[in-house]
Amino acid sequence: MTARTTRENDTMPGGGCFRRSPRPTGAPTGRGRRAVLAVSVAAAALALSACSETGDLAAYDLPSKAARYTFEAETNGVSTRWEYVSARPAKGDAPELNPCMGDMVGDNKAACRPEPLIFLRYDLNLALDNTAEADGTHRIEVVAYYQDRLTSPPRVTSLKVETSYDGGKSWHRATSKNAGTNTFTATIHHPGRKQAAQGVGLRITASDSKGDTVEQTLPTAYKLR
């Protein structure tokens, strides 16, 4: 996995493990907040990567005021890019059953709150061999969700589905519609099997009521039969 996080107009290093980054330009000395990118994908990466158990947890000193951040991750070819607004929380907003990453970095006195990252769950409506029929229409369902928190998370307001049949060289927009709270369906028009020899790629873009966004690309989501 590769993970990279940036503040707008800042550049931070990437790589196979999480690396410490310099204080963002203009961060107020003595008033910075200790923040950890404690999201499911990042936590999983620590176990899957070759990082050692110490010194590889990503922790940054960030300004307390609200700013827009970008977090990019790539796992097994699936790339995800989040953009979201984050500020120092005034009080804790994490359930007791979900321990704060701050406890792992010695900052357990700080208020803990999950970052408002949009995650995506798919029902691709596939056969037992993980394929779909070629040369016809196909419907999938995408559910957006957030990490557990005590307060209500934002509401996902829009979701766009694009497909590729040539390994990501070109993309075609599918027809999508709202199917309930944070739930969307999309109708995909499959070409013949020979025209999609590399399988069907998916690119999903979603945004919520707070302006947070996610773009996730699955180069080969499934094959056609």
What is the predicted pLDDT for the residue at 116? 93
CA angle 119/120/122 to nearest 5° reads: 160
pLDDT by residue (tens digit) across 167-188? 999 999 999 999 999 999 999 9
- Spell out the domains of the chain, with CATH numbers in brackets: 2-104 (no CATH), 119-224 (2.60.40.3550)
Flag residues of the chain having pLDDT under 50: 1-2, 7-54
- pLDDT for residue 21: 35
Cα(217)–Cα(80) distance, rounded to whole angstroms? 6
**pLDDT of amino acid 93:** 85
Assess contact for 73 and 45: CB atoms under 8 A: yes
Question: Bridge-partner residues for 163, per DSSP?
Answer: 172, 202
Q: What is the mean pLDDT of the chain?
A: 79
DSSP assignment, residue 216?
Answer: E
The set of residues, in sequence order, having a beta carbon less than 8 Å from that of 160 and lying 6+ positions away, is 173, 176, 204, 205, 206
Contact 57, 119 (CB under 8 A): no
